[in-house]
Amino acid sequence: MARRLAVFLLKSVLHDHQSFDEAFAGSSARDAFAAMESRDRAFARAIATIALRRLGQVEDMLARFLEKPLAADAFEARAILIAGATQLAFMDVAPHAAIGLAVEQAKASRFSRHLGGLINAVLRRVSENKAAILSEQDAAVLNTPAWLWERWVAAYGEATAREIAGAHLEEPPLDLSVKADAAEWAAKLEGEVLPWGSVRLSHKGRVEEIEGYAEGAWWVQDAAAGIPALLLADIAGGRVADLCAAPGGKTAQLAAAGAQVTSVDISASRLRRLGENAARLGLSVEIVKANVGEWQPKDRFDAILLDAPCSATGTIRRNPDIAYLKTAEDIAALARVQKRLLAHALTLLAPGGTLVFATCSLEPEEGEAQIAALLADRADVRLLPIDAVELNLPPEVVTPNGCLRTLPFHAGGMDGFFAARLTRS
Ligand SMILES: C[S@@+](CC[C@H](N)C(=O)[O-])C[C@H]1O[C@@H](n2cnc3c(N)ncnc32)[C@H](O)[C@@H]1O
């Protein structure tokens, strides 16, 4: 059953272009997967996630033994082959189990029944030849879609692009943001406190079962995602707008720092989650459903955090499906949205106030270039440079002009984030 779910998840992402998390969440509502034990679901998730992290290598292996490419409508057989080869090459699953169950699954399906023999032959050859193939593959290049590889080489140089791609192969740790007493919680949970206050756990389990979850002592948030809110210093008692706020990781930080927070988002369902999260954490925030590009509050804000919608290529390590769901056109379209939201957000800032613009993208159009264009355009807007020492940040995450640029391999692994701190006269 685990293999069937893994194949369903791979088909959902690679063929139906659905997000992995949506497909995984939706799968439990399907009769076929409803009764699965959580251990099997976790194994299915592992197969599909590793397959997406290593997709280029896996497809390269398969192509070596397929006499001709599979027909376009053989997407189920393709997913069965990918799941099977992933188990053989990257999960140390016994060949008779990985191959036998793949063939069984194909034979039980009216779409793939006729390909059972081919699947058997190809997976056998993968199993026999995997060590030799792995030793000659260029994992970084193969596992990064070509258009992203070209962009990252252009933006960061080849050596850094290789480090980015390398980080995408690693299973990320679980990072928490803590309401208070990070050191105490790190000790209790046997984690470590990172210098800017996030707590990192190496062991994983169901988040809801970890001590402190139910009492609202902490929430899950990548260590890099925890930095933008810290850039708004001295906000206790101030009026702060968190724009594009749901599900509320940064809202929680701002509220825990003592600000009066107004959280704005366009999505009702995501705002519902924000409300639930704030309630669990015992934090009080004002929630507004609005389009940030048009929102007209009564008063201006002392501080604003705009965590704009973006391509999220900085989160590929946590969400490897993103590499196969996003396109270059998405980046251009999102950059236009960000420009509009940022221009409007600046109108909501009190003169002399501070605005942090953030995206979890590796693409300069959604970060460095966005801010360079704004500063060239607007004499009334100024960059307030970030000082790594001020927040105990590793020096490599601050750019020469004082913006935040984290990359997935920084600090033992973190999301790729960009942030700029601005003020308006
Ligand atoms: C990167 S996520 C925000 C994550 C959030 N800041 C956190 O820390 O938990 C971007 C959010 O922008 C919202 N969004 C997208 N376009 C919007 C718009 N025009 N106005 C308001 N919210 C928008 C999405 O619904 C999504 O929740």
Does the C-beta of 248 come closer than 6 Å to ligand 1? yes
Domain ranges of the chain: 2-137, 175-424
Other C-beta atoms closer than 10 Å to the C-beta of 385 total 14
- Centroid of ligand 1 to alpha carbon of 246 (angstroms): 6
pLDDT tens digits, 162-185? 999 999 999 999 999 999 999 999
- Centroid of ligand 1 to alpha carbon of 275 (angstroms): 14
The answer, yes or no, to whether ipTM is higher than 0.90 is: yes
CATH superfamily of 175-424: Vaccinia Virus protein VP39 (3.40.50.150)
Report the alpha-carbon angle 183-188-195, nearest 5: 25
* 286: three-class secondary structure by DSSP: strand
pLDDT at 198 over 90: yes
Pair 23, 95: CB distance under 8 Å: no
Q: Which helix (H) or strand (E) holds 403?
A: none
Looking at the CA of residue 247, tell me the nearest atom of ligand 1.
Answer: 9
**According to the annotation, is 11 in a ligand binding site?**
no
Does the C-beta of 228 come closer than 6 Å to ligand 1? no
Active site residues: 360
Measured by CA distance, the residue closest to atom 14 of ligand 1 is: 244
Give me the mean pLDDT over the 310-319 stretch: 98
Q: Which of 415, 416, 412, 408 is nearest to 163 (CA)?
A: 408
Q: Which helix (H) or strand (E) holds 405?
A: strand 404-405
Pair 413, 317: CB distance under 8 Å: yes
**According to the annotation, is 245 in a ligand binding site?**
yes
Distance CA 178, CA 182 (A): 6
What confidence score (pLDDT) does residue 72 get? Answer: 86
Measured by CA distance, the residue closest to atom 11 of ligand 1 is: 244
Pair 223, 175: CB distance under 8 Å: yes
Which alpha helices (H) appear in 16-174, and where do they start and end?
A: 20-27, 31-34, 38-53, 55-65, 75-90, 95-107, 116-136, 139-142, 146-156, 158-167
pLDDT tens digits, 104-140? 999 988 888 888 899 999 999 999 999 999 999 999 9
Distance CA 76, CA 272 (A): 36
Other C-beta atoms closer than 10 Å to the C-beta of 128 total 12
Q: Ligand 1 pocket check: which of 198, 219, 266 to mutate, most ligand atoms within 8 Å of Cβ? A: 266
The bridge status of strand 218-220 relative to strand 349-359 is unpaired
Q: Kindly indicate whether the domain formed by 2-137 is annotated with CATH number 1.10.940.10.
A: yes
* 388: three-class secondary structure by DSSP: helix
**According to the annotation, is 246 in a ligand binding site?**
yes
- Centroid of ligand 1 to alpha carbon of 310 (angstroms): 9
What confidence score (pLDDT) does residue 5 get? Answer: 94
What residues does 193 pair with on adjacent strands?
A: 199
**According to the annotation, is 216 in a ligand binding site?**
no
Q: Which helix (H) or strand (E) holds 264?
A: strand 260-265
pLDDT tens digits, 206-244? 899 999 999 999 999 999 999 999 999 899 999 999 999
| pTM of the shown model | 0.95
Does the C-beta of 336 come closer than 6 Å to ligand 1? no
> Quick one: tokens of 6?
């893994």
Q: Which of 33, 17, 78 is nearest to 51 (CA)?
A: 78
**According to the annotation, is 69 in a ligand binding site?**
no
Does the C-beta of 249 come closer than 6 Å to ligand 1? yes
- Centroid of ligand 1 to alpha carbon of 247 (angstroms): 8
> Quick one: tokens of 277?
């999260």
Q: Please classify residue 289 by burial: count the beta carbons closer than 10 Å to its beta carbon, then call 0-12 exposed, 13-18 middle and 19+ buried.
A: middle
Does the C-beta of 292 come closer than 6 Å to ligand 1? yes
Does the C-beta of 293 come closer than 6 Å to ligand 1? yes
